[in-house]
């Protein structure tokens, strides 16, 4: 099954390198808007068809006729236009931006639920790292409120990421609820300027009623193993933490009607595979890994072309 990539920046280029290693899909084209971009230069050297005229140039490439899936690694604003053009040609789209036009897909949680959709949204890097944990907790006990904090190296946040901060928080919070199963969700992103750059770290807080701690911890550990199948650098930093919440503590008012309960805290670290990006850029690596896993699943099922 053949794919094309829109976006020749960090995410699109890393995605290209991962796709070149895949035995299930074949990347044949890349589109960007900067003729001098490193991504287009590397794609050209590896024999891909390239264009610096964005999606308009992509659909004019002879290779585009044979493309089954287009993966968009641009921005939320650009994706709305790109998706309309690509879907107008009957191609399926995997969206690596926070545009959230299509249903949210987190491979370890709901990979097969939306594969018939013409547009599949990969949420955000923070969402891909933390929603599996919220889903694991909610599989054992109702999650009244979930909050995630994604800390990434400032150097790993390119222009697209910085332009989409609002979309990041809104899309991630919505997916925490819709995919993770929390009654209410909140997302925070921190761009850490430390030198040398720090690896991606995520903290997940889930407020629940009294629960079977062993069962919750086991579900989290099982979920981490599932994510590691396609993101090898994904790991727990320490054991799952449980602490009692008093009914008068302010944080618990975020879950109206609840009286006391338990706060579940999970600390994560995501190290990138360094196919193109530095190992500290786990935030970008987990997005490209999740998108690749989704494209490969479409290939396995032979459902690349949209109905």
Catalytic residue among 125, 129, 231, 268: 125
| Contact status, residue 190 vs residue 162, Cβ threshold 8 Å | no
**8 assigned binding-site residue:** yes
Rounded to two decimals, the pTM is 0.93
**Domain assignment of residue 88, given as a range:** 2-122+286-301
For residue 296, give the CATH number of its domain.
3.40.50.720
Are 222 and 274 in the same domain?
A: yes
Does residue 306 fall inside a structural domain? no
Q: In this predicted model, what pLDDT tens digit does every residue of 21-77 receive, in sequence order?
A: 999 999 999 999 999 999 999 999 999 999 999 999 999 999 999 999 999 999 999
CATH number at residue 253: 3.30.360.10
Structural domain count, the chain: 2
261 is in an annotated binding site: no
Indicate whether 158 and 266 sit together in one domain: yes
- Give the model's pLDDT for residue 217: 98
Compute the distance between CA of residue 149 and CA of residue 152 in angstroms, rounded to an integer.
Answer: 10
Q: What is the per-residue pLDDT for 111?
A: 95
Do residues 139 and 188 both lie within one domain? Answer: yes
Note whether 140 and 246 are same-domain residues. Answer: yes
- Whether 211 is catalytic is no
CB of 200 closer than 8 Å to CB of 151: yes
Q: Which helix (H) or strand (E) holds 32?
A: none
What φ, ψ does residue 293 adopt, rounded to 5°? -60, -40
Q: What pLDDT does 307 receive? A: 44
157 assigned to a ligand binding site: yes
Residues 117, 129, single domain; the answer is no
Q: 172 and 62, same structural domain? A: no
Does 256 count as an annotated binding residue? no
Whether residue 105 lies inside any domain: the answer is yes
Helix (H) or strand (E) holding 86, with range, is: helix 76-88
What is the pLDDT, as a whole number, of residue 161? 79
Contact of 189 with 168, CB cutoff 8 Å? yes
Whether 251 shows a pLDDT value over 80: the answer reads: no
Please measure the distance between the N-terminal and C-terminal CA atoms of the chain and give it in whole angstroms: 16
Same domain (yes/no): 6, 132: no
Residue 268 counted as domain residue? yes
192 is in an annotated binding site: no
Whether 272 shows a pLDDT value over 70: the answer reads yes
pLDDT value at position 260? 66
Claim to verify: residue 145 and residue 254 sit in the same structural domain = yes
Let me know if residue 307 belongs to a domain: no
290 is annotated as contributing to ligand binding: no
Percent of the chain surpassing pLDDT 70: 94
204/297 same-domain check: no
Do the domain assignments include residue 271?
yes
Q: What pLDDT does 248 receive?
A: 59
Residues 154-181: what's their mean pLDDT?
90
Q: Is residue 115 part of a domain?
A: yes
Query: Are 56 and 154 found together in one domain?
Result: no
Residues 204 and 238 in one domain: yes
């Amino acid at each position: 099954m053949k794919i094309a990539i829109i976006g020749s920046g960090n995410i699109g280029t890393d995605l290209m390198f991962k796709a070149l290693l895949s035995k299930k899909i074949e990347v044949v084209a890349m589109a960007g808007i900067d003729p001098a971009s490193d991504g287009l230069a590397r794609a050209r050297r590896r024999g891909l068809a390239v264009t610096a005229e964005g999606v308009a140039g992509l659909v004019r490439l002879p290779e585009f006729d044979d493309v089954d899936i287009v993966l968009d690694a641009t921005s939320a604003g650009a994706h709305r236009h790109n998706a309309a053009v690509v879907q107008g040609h009957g191609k399926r789209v995997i969206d690596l931006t926070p545009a959230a036009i299509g249903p949210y897909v987190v491979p370890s949680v709901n990979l097969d639920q939306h594969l018939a959709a013409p547009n599949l949204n990969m949420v955000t890097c923070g969402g891909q790292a933390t929603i599996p944990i919220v889903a694991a907790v909610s599989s054992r006990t109702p999650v009244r409120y979930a909050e995630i904090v994604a800390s990434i190296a400032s150097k790993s946040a390119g222009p697209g990421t910085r332009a989409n901060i609002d979309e990041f928080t809104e899309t991630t919070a919505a997916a925490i609820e819709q995919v993770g199963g929390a009654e209410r969700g909140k997302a925070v992103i921190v761009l850490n300027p430390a030198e040398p750059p720090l690896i991606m770290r995520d903290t997940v807080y889930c407020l629940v009623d009294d629960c079977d701690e062993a069962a919750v911890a086991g579900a989290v550990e099982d979920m981490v193993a599932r994510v590691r199948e396609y993101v090898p650098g994904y790991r727990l930093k320490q054991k799952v933490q449980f602490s009692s919440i008093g009914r008068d503590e302010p944080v618990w008012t975020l879950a109206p009607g609840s009286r006391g309960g338990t706060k579940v805290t999970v600390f994560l670290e995501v190290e990138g595979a360094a196919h193109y990006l530095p190992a500290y850029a786990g935030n970008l690596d987990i997005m490209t890994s999740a998108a690749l896993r989704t494209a490969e699943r479409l290939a396995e099922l032979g459902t690349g072309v949209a109905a």
